Amino acid sequence: MATALFRDVSVPSGVAAALPSPGLAVLTADLDGDGRLDIYVANDLKPAYLFHNQGGGRFIETAVQSGAGMDATAILPAGMGIDAGDLDGSGRPSLFLTNFQNKPNLLFLNRGNLRFEDRACAPAWELRSLARLAFGTAFIDADLDGNLDIAVANGHIQRDNEKFDGTPTAQEAQLFLGDGRGHFRTCPARRRLLYRQRRPRRVAGRKVDACLAGHVPKVGRGRRPEITGFLRRWGAVELFVIPLMWPLATAMSRLPSDRHR
């Protein structure tokens, strides 16, 4: 059986040339449509990294020049979780970066040629995310309308944060419904019922609780703070969340059967 071997190419690739920063999340995606995977990294209180793939295993860091390093007001993000996908029907992957409490989550729409527009400055978007400390995130089509939606797991870093500033440690997850044109609205309470809590079960020997879509506060993260992704079963969408101090959590959509086809 062949053994996978890795070698450190941080220096020859150019990645090591970037100033050191505390990275918390990373993804790879072809952000400029040249057929090569680029690397995007969320950093804590430092500009994000965008390593543009030059080919031949070489990268150049271009996040600030591309408009995806920090928000439009030049405030440094406390980058926690990230995802990429076509949010506005352009065919280009835009970037979403979760942020610390009292800082808006950042939405960078991809305008082509490795240029991004910060949409987090929109007042409605700010108000929806300021009250929570966001960690993991995943793009899913939660209501199966053909448009990507955004799921966010929230939770404070202080175990007894209520004693410090009155903000709860356990915080509700959020689901933002997309219209396919780069605009989002908070999933209303009545539609959260589209996601039902599953009965506790066991995955890999561990008990799995059920909570998402905003109706049960949790500290939504794990040792690596993230929503781990989504699964499609029988046309439904299932989210799998790693909370802190709680059992693992899942939530599965329950939509009319004709929406599953």
Q: How far apart are CA 163 and CA 168, in angstroms?
A: 9
pLDDT reported for residue 184: 87
pTM: 0.79
Position 163 pLDDT exceeds 60: yes
pLDDT reported for residue 121: 56
pLDDT reported for residue 225: 33
Q: How much is the mean pLDDT over the chain?
A: 76
pLDDT reported for residue 248: 53
Average pLDDT over residues 88-107: 91
